[in-house]
Amino acid sequence: MIRSSTRKFGKVALLLIGLVGGGRAWAQQDHMFSQYMFNMMAMNPAYAGSRDVLSMTALYRNQWGGIEGAPQTTTFTIDMPVNRERIGLGLQLFNDRIGEYNTTGAYASYAFRIKVGSRSTLGLGLQAGASSFQADLLKVRTDQGGDPAFSQNISKILPNFGTGIYLSNDKTYIGISVPQLIKNKLTDYDSGVQRATQRRHAYAMAGFVVRLSPVLKLKPSTLVKYVEGAPLGIDGNLNLWIADRIAVGVSYRRNQFNSYESALMNGKVYDQDAIVGIVEVQLSDQIRLGYAYDQMLNKLQTFKLPSHEIMLRYELGFGKNKILTPRYF
């Protein structure tokens, strides 16, 4: 067991350390975003160039705020269409911190875009890059000294590549992706049960816009997540756009984790459910600001751990006719 300064956060501290570094690999390893519908470049390389302008998005997520070592994620993506919008190019930079673990990486994306109708485009995407995985395990104090799992620090470069497809127009989108196909080893320590490795994550995403009135539009969307060794996770979202300038929304997230979290909660498998409030403001034709607040609905809610997420997007058109009003996806 990992020592904790307070009993209240003992189980949470164990979860933070055990997510990546224990004898068994944690199922959910990839980034988690509440505002996934505004940051799809981070999940699907085929999204590159789909907004028809040079688009830059920065997102910061502080999960389970209030405890030391809680997950923090920062991403920056930039993408644009080239060659008469037949090709999309993109770049993703990211940093994940959780406990003593730190992952920093970059991926470049290429999307071949095919017109499949007067208003729809099919993107076929590839991405490739690498991440630096660092774990300061020697800083971790355990009740039983000499634990071989924490006997040395970890420093690895993890190359990877992924693929995806994305079909969209100005009112609808649907996509499927597997951003990381290589199952890199995260540690050289082998417990004899299972070595910690990167798991493949598969995503299916879809959304559309319903016009309710001249000033109101409803935008439902969903994200289905599959990770090897874990059941499906599902995010459902409803956003109400007001005059194409302000959006208020709510999401419901349902994820299941494997034996690590089950063990933390006395061997009982439970869902990590959360309800999310989202506000989005189109400050100008080029600048969009978004904020999300997560409220846990499972047993972790007793710890009162808030999660905050902020998103900023800037778009640079090549001419007034290139800024399509508005771009919902």
pLDDT(205) > 50: yes
273 occurs within a structural domain: yes
pLDDT(125) > 80: yes
Report DSSP state, residue 153.
Answer: -
**For the chain, how many structural domains are there in total?**
1
Mean pLDDT score across all residues of the chain: 80
245 occurs within a structural domain: yes
Strand 246-256 with 233-242, pairing:
antiparallel
Structure tokens belonging to residue 94: 């990211």
pLDDT of residue 142: 65
Structure tokens belonging to residue 106: 């970059």
**Any idea what the CATH number is for the domain that residue 250 is in?**
2.40.160.60
76 occurs within a structural domain: yes
237 occurs within a structural domain: yes
Span of 2-16, 35-49, 159-173 with lowest mean pLDDT: 2-16
pLDDT(195) > 80: no
What is the CB neighbour count within 10 angstroms for residue 139? 10
Task: Give the residue, 138 or 125, on which the prediction is more confident.
Answer: 125
298 occurs within a structural domain: yes
Span of 96-110, 160-174, 266-280 with lowest mean pLDDT: 266-280
pLDDT(4) > 50: no
pLDDT(323) > 70: no
**Cβ-based neighbours of 284, under 8 Å, separated by 6 or more:** none
Domain that holds residue 265: 26-143+151-188+198-316
Structure tokens belonging to residue 137: 């395990």
83 occurs within a structural domain: yes
Span of 141-150, 200-209, 241-250 with lowest mean pLDDT: 141-150
Q: Can you tell me the mean pLDDT for 8-18?
A: 46
Q: Can you tell me the mean pLDDT for 84-103?
A: 92
287 occurs within a structural domain: yes
322 occurs within a structural domain: no
Q: What are the angstrom distances between the C-alpha of 54 and each of 3, 81, 208?
A: 48, 7, 22
pLDDT(250) > 90: yes
